[in-house]
Amino acid sequence: MELGDIQKGVVLLVNKPLTWTSFDVVNYIRKMLNVKVGHAGTLDPLATGLLILCTGAMTKKIDTYQAQEKQYTGIIKIGATTPSFDLETTIDEVFPITHISDESIFNAAASLTGLIKQHPPLYSAKKIKGERAYLIARRGDTIEIESRDVEISQFKITSIARKEDFINVHFDIICSKGTYIRAIARDMGKVIQSGSHLIELCRIRIGDFNLSEAMTMEEIKKMRPNSEDKIKTVG
């Protein structure tokens, strides 16, 4: 694919690395290729996996891609909570786990499957009166975020690893647009009368697009306009 085609409009699939924000990826490609770029669905900095980028005229289709169902794999740690519901912040409270059976974990996942109301995390990119919620949270301020309807079509527990003070629950989730997996981690802890947070997350699919098709940032960095390598596109 030539630079001219990318400037006109294509879809790029990127495997977002750990600690990069979605905006970091967008800005890097925008500056490297001098093209208009947008992404179809934010990933948290501590999440990895599939990010859909649209360039040029294809940015008009971002909402279409963003609306498609998402699939994630990851790990929920039961026995402790953090303010951000993931590893962005440190543990603020620990909880007993001796009462938690494997059956109760499977039952909790079942209770969080289907159409549910979800309270988004304060540590999120959601805008509150024009300001990103995570900026409010990092200042130490609090604000109530209204719940939203989301659909969890699959919440599969793939394995359970028990330690002395915590339980790691490996999962595979398929969900609708706007679902916060960190909020699912929080809610699982509440359902089983303990506390929990997300310690690992990877988005492996958006609609018909799969992570296996995505380029790494290392591959993208090699594909500057004067390079003989070509950027892989889809669509």
Residues 130 and 180: their CA atoms lie apart, in Å, by 20
Q: How many CB atoms lie within 10 A of CB 60?
A: 11
Q: How many CB atoms lie within 10 A of CB 194?
A: 23
Q: Do 116 and 155 meet the contact criterion of CB atoms below 8 Å apart?
A: no
Q: What is the DSSP letter of 37?
A: E
User: To 5 degrees, how large is the angle CA 200–CA 204–CA 207?
Assistant: 140
Residues 15 and 203: their CA atoms lie apart, in Å, by 9
The residue type at 95: F
Q: Do 169 and 157 meet the contact criterion of CB atoms below 8 Å apart?
A: yes
Residues 51 and 42: their CA atoms lie apart, in Å, by 8
Known active-site residue 208: no
Residues 104 and 124: their CA atoms lie apart, in Å, by 29
In Å, how far are 116, 120, 142, 150, 224 from 147, measured between CA atoms? 10, 7, 15, 9, 43
Residues 116 and 209: their CA atoms lie apart, in Å, by 25
Catalytically annotated residue among 24, 44, 149, 229: 44
**Residues with active-site annotation:** 44
